[in-house]
Structure 1
């Protein structure tokens, strides 16, 4: 139920919308900070928890998978009960789960607590975009989304640098503990500043759609992550990995059919929103961006620490220039998004980001120095800063306020679906490439060993590839087999380390072609954006006053 149209803008907003924006961005910052911190800590978590590569992929994807599945439902819950309440509940769940993650003593516990973190993050995130869309008039949303995009840049900087410092000086556990004070502060600010908006009290939740999406995505991601460790063969009795992936695709197809046949009601995916070409294109582009981002940085952080030998802090500082440049550019890109140039800002940004990361891949070698990747990272940072604010502004410009929660939940869902599929697909491709590239490097380097040590060396490398491979900082990828004579152990250690460095670098370079191709397709897709200047008639209805519900 909406309030009468005569309610003033001030009554609609309650507290200053800019103060509300600060609160929303602080919560969003915490979610993004957690993601980037976890990435930089991957090698140390692998070493400390004795986690294999496929377990590391689950630590990343358990969070993203739950986050993706629940985002649309959380957007609907925000429409039903108010974004303020869902934002605060999400903060409480996420903060408590972060503390539990820091106390985990094995990979299984950490994966379980990451799932709970995903629930909290999903409840929180859609409320940020829907609230911004409602409390800011159309001519101010570009600036607001520019600030929102700049927060993404700040989180990207703070994640690697703060995370690197915490991991290096205190341990990986503190990458999760740092969320606790930030979460408590944000909860207090949200309770004080956020208006209790109501856009529509009559939403219903699509539990069947949620169940189908959950099962389908789980099967698809499980098959991609576990494929290499099971040699793409049997995984559950007679059931094979290929059959698991096929079942996931089939269930997702049933999910889409269910959404279509229930379109007259309130399906999880409101197909009517996709009648707006810009929203449809931006949803696809958002998914591709997340695919590229997580797909690119997963192998890169392992390369920086486990191949180049950088500490977590040094690795964070190595990528910080890209994030810093992105943060500086984002607000200006947000202003440009309010003009017809927004389409071209986004297109150029994606092109530069893709070109910069391609340069990074070209410069990566087993002996590259800490700053050897800097030229590519600076190009990528320039492009990255031109992406997020224009994307959100173009996507949400024509969305009616009554659909703001569903729309923001939907576009965040497509982004997270891209992230989880990108991480799983790139992880699977990386594992497959490691099998071949490590084997090639091992056969080449075996010639430097005495004849008696060659076969034990080749056996050790063969046993370490696939999902059982450990990629922790300072590790060589394969353990020295027992029974090797002492006089051969040093030579074997040196050759094993060199083999891992060469094999991983070559595997990474081949793997990263996949996210680069996806980003290139996203850049071309931006040409289909309908270019229109923003005005008061851009939205189907001017943001109607949200009913301030009594608590």
Structure 2
């Protein structure tokens, strides 16, 4: 595929600049989660209100991704990224001075929108500034930075909340945001726009579709799946059907051009990333619940148990990326999915058997290696053969698929854990929850096994 590649030195500087924004947006959940108890006390918030401090960010982050990915194609990924970073940083600054919980929730919604403008652009930029034979390596670095947020988030959050207070968590974003704005403005090149227009009707219908599905799945357990939640889900499903119909009728301005799915590896990669999102983003809850309530570890000791997972993911991701550039497509991805399935099954078995705590290090190590071997190769192979005019749309679809998979996974595991609570032992309930993603991961394994060299 002909690309808009730049010099090797500038492409790596651009990647470093983009990684600052990635670190910020992915750090948010683990960073803010640490501050929620203090926010609740200081702002006299109800439990439901404090949950919405996190939930509304996830909602406004996930829902517009299809649109924000395509905006990069229309107005330039660099410009949309800078706009998103400015919005994210200003909203974070305002959050630090929020006088009430209602103001904080509203400002978090704005911050999530900023994150949504940022998130799809780097994947598109990487595919346009790196030649095909170096994209796996670049994605490996990208994934290592993403993996590091799970390590640093609780540590940084704990230090800031414990020494300064919860407002410092939001102030922490401000200097990082300014650094990101400067670096992206300085090092990321202006790239030609890929499309002349975007169909506004498709954009509006996509927002209704994703909002309906994500909101219903995210809030369904909170409201005990009341009839109105099913109504919201039905509206989202109908809007999705209308959206698909619109994409087939719309020409160049389609939000999700049907031409995307003519690419074999893209189709398979979307399936694979959905299963990864389903599995990886939700399993920490049953693991932490079991280690603390089942195995009797303190929160600190349980947190330290997971450190090898993060360390391995960070260390192995760049290596996995380099190997993806050199080995047949899917080889590294298969190893990652197999390690992920094995780790889940071992966790389930050890929980059911109430195994000694040191044995849990084996599945923890497997999950750490799996994260490195599954994520960056899948991103590189899925995106690297798309033509320039489709990179923004492809990035939007890829990120949306991951986020919807994550919401589905959280809902499914939450339902299984709640069903088992009080009827079976904690180990049996959490162990059964760990098995929920295995069937879908098998589908992901089948998908990556069919990657081919186009």
Q: Please name the residue that 1:227 is paired with.
A: 220
Contact 2:308 2:364 in 1 (8 A): yes
Would the alpha carbon gap of residues 173 and 308 (structure 1) be closer, same or farther in structure 2, given more than 3 Å must change?
A: farther
Cα distance in 2, alignment partners of residues 161 and 516 from structure 1: 30
Cα distance in 2, alignment partners of residues 192 and 342 from structure 1: 34
Shift of 1:260: 2.2
Would the alpha carbon gap of residues 301 and 96 (structure 1) be closer, same or farther in structure 2, given more than 3 Å must change?
A: farther
Shift of 1:86: 1.4
Q: Please name the residue that 1:249 is paired with.
A: 237
Moved more, 521-530 or 508-517: 508-517
Would the alpha carbon gap of residues 270 and 250 (structure 1) be closer, same or farther in structure 2, given more than 3 Å must change?
A: same
Contact 2:333 2:374 in 1 (8 A): yes
Shift of 1:71: 2.1
Q: Secondary structure at the match of 1:529?
A: coil
Cα distance in 1, alignment partners of residues 298 and 94 from structure 2: 25
Shift of 1:305: 6.2
1:444-463 to 2 correspondences below 5 Å: none
Q: Hey, which of these two has a bigger chunk of helix by percent?
A: 2
Cα distance in 2, alignment partners of residues 255 and 216 from structure 1: 8
Would the alpha carbon gap of residues 75 and 230 (structure 1) be closer, same or farther in structure 2, given more than 3 Å must change?
A: closer
How far does the alpha carbon of each residue in 1:336-389 deviate from its partner, in whole angstroms, 9 at most, with x for none?
111333412101102212322333344448999986632221111011111122
Contact 2:347 2:434 in 1 (8 A): no
Would the alpha carbon gap of residues 295 and 203 (structure 1) be closer, same or farther in structure 2, given more than 3 Å must change?
A: farther
Contact 1:165 1:313 in 2 (8 A): no
Cα distance in 2, alignment partners of residues 171 and 41 from structure 1: 8
Cα distance in 1, alignment partners of residues 407 and 38 from structure 2: 22
Q: Work out which of the residue numbers 188, 193, 198 in structure 1 matches 2:182.
A: 188
Q: Secondary structure at the match of 1:386?
A: helix
Would the alpha carbon gap of residues 232 and 150 (structure 1) be closer, same or farther in structure 2, given more than 3 Å must change?
A: closer
Q: Please name the residue that 1:335 is paired with.
A: 322
TM-score, normalised relative to structure 2? 0.87
Q: Please name the residue that 1:473 is paired with.
A: none
1:409 matches 2:363: no
Q: Please name the residue that 1:17 is paired with.
A: 11
Contact 1:40 1:315 in 2 (8 A): no
Cα distance in 2, alignment partners of residues 110 and 299 from structure 1: 29
Q: Work out which of the residue numbers 412, 421, 439 in structure 2 matches 1:437.
A: 421
Cα distance in 2, alignment partners of residues 225 and 192 from structure 1: 39
Cα distance in 2, alignment partners of residues 516 and 13 from structure 1: 42
Q: Secondary structure at the match of 1:406?
A: helix
Q: Please name the residue that 2:204 is paired with.
A: 211
Contact 1:325 1:385 in 2 (8 A): yes
Cα distance in 1, alignment partners of residues 40 and 359 from structure 2: 25
Q: Please name the residue that 2:369 is paired with.
A: 382
Would the alpha carbon gap of residues 26 and 506 (structure 1) be closer, same or farther in structure 2, given more than 3 Å must change?
A: same
How far does the alpha carbon of each residue in 1:53-102 deviate from its partner, in whole angstroms, 9 at most, with x for none?
x6666444432332223223222222222222211111111122233444
1:513 matches 2:435: yes
TM-score, normalised relative to structure 1? 0.73
Cα distance in 2, alignment partners of residues 310 and 163 from structure 1: 21
Unaligned runs of 5+ in 1: 235-239, 442-501, 533-537, 539-551
Would the alpha carbon gap of residues 241 and 125 (structure 1) be closer, same or farther in structure 2, given more than 3 Å must change?
A: closer
Q: Please name the residue that 1:266 is paired with.
A: 253
Q: What do you get for the CA RMSD once the two structures are aligned?
A: 3.3
Q: Please name the residue that 1:467 is paired with.
A: none
Q: Please name the residue that 2:62 is paired with.
A: 68
1:450-489 to 2 correspondences below 5 Å: none
Q: Secondary structure at the match of 1:338?
A: helix
Unaligned runs of 5+ in 2: none
1:496-507 to 2 correspondences below 5 Å: 507=429
Cα distance in 1, alignment partners of residues 167 and 432 from structure 2: 32
Shift of 1:31: 1.4
Q: How many residue pairs get matched?
A: 452
Moved more, 265-274 or 277-286: 265-274
Cα distance in 1, alignment partners of residues 24 and 188 from structure 2: 17
Shift of 1:333: 0.7
Q: Which has the larger radius of gyration?
A: 1
Moved more, 251-260 or 58-67: 58-67
Contact 1:61 1:424 in 2 (8 A): no
Q: Please name the residue that 2:263 is paired with.
A: 276
Would the alpha carbon gap of residues 209 and 308 (structure 1) be closer, same or farther in structure 2, given more than 3 Å must change?
A: farther
1:350 matches 2:337: yes
Cα distance in 1, alignment partners of residues 323 and 338 from structure 2: 17
